[in-house]
Amino acid sequence: MKEKIERIKDKLNQLKKLDRNFNAFGSQRHKYKLNTTKSEQELIDFEKAHSISLPEEYREFLKNIGNGGAGPYYGLEPLENGRFADLDYKREEDLIDLSKPFPHTEHWNLELGELTENNEEEYAKKEEEYFDEKWINGLLRVSNFGCGVYLNLVVNGPEYGNLWVDDRCNDQGIYPDPYSEKDGRIQFLDWYESWLDKELQEKKAGNNGNRCTSP
C-alpha cells in the first residue's frame, strides 16, 4: 500500500509538470492541487457518525495524499461532500444514507418509457421512483463527471470498496465503473492510478481529453 501511495504521488507530480496549461479534462477546476489530508481521528469521527468503515485504500489516500482535489473528471470531492445526492447543488436535505447497504450487485436501470400527453402522471411517478435515494444507499460520492454523472465508492454492502457510476440523469442507471479490469470491478487506488496512467499517456502523445462523452 505504501509503495502504491508513493507511486501515485510521483505520477501526479509528473502529470502536473506535463499539463501546465491544464488541458486535461477537469484540470482547469482542480489545477492538480490537493486539499489538506485528514487525520486518523477525523476519519474515525466520520465513520462513527455514519455507522460505516471507510475502505482501507480510500482511508490511506485521505490520510497520505489529500482530502479531495486533483483527480479523475472534475477532481475528487472532499469527504464531507460525499453524502450529497446532488454534487452540483449540495442540499442539506438531500443526503445519501451511508448506514444502509448499497442494494446493487449488477447493472441496474428502470425503463421509464416515452413521455406523452396521456401518461404524464404515470411517467412522473416512474421518474420519482427512478431517482429515489434508496437506490444509492451506501454510496459515497467521490467525483463529479459532469452531465449529471457521479462516480461513487461503495462503503456499505456486498460491493464494498468498489467504484460504481450513478448515470440516472442520462437514463443509463447505476453500474460498476466501466474502466474496471479485475472481475469487472475496481477499487480506489487502482482507479485513481489508472486515471493518472491514462492522462500521462495522452499528454506524452500530445492529446487532450474530451468532456461529457462517457465515464
pLDDT of residue 119: 87
- Pairwise CA distance, residues 113 & 36, whole Å: 46
CB 78, CB 46: distance < 8 Å = no
H or E element that contains 163: strand 163-166
Q: What does pLDDT average to in each consecutive run of 10 residues of the chain (215 residues)?
A: 97 97 95 98 98 98 98 97 96 97 97 86 94 97 96 98 97 89 84 96 78 56
pLDDT at 17: 96
pLDDT reported for residue 209: 56
d(C-alpha 139, C-alpha 102), whole Å:
6
Task: Note the pLDDT of residue 68.
Answer: 98
Alpha-carbon span 207 to 60, nearest angstrom: 31
Residue 165 — φ and ψ, nearest 5°? -110, 135
CB burial string 124-158: b at 16+ within 10 A, e below:
eebeeeeeeeebbbbbbbbbbbbeebbbbbbbbbe
Measured in degrees and rounded to the nearest 5, phi and psi for residue 170 equal -110, 20
Place of cell 487506488: 189
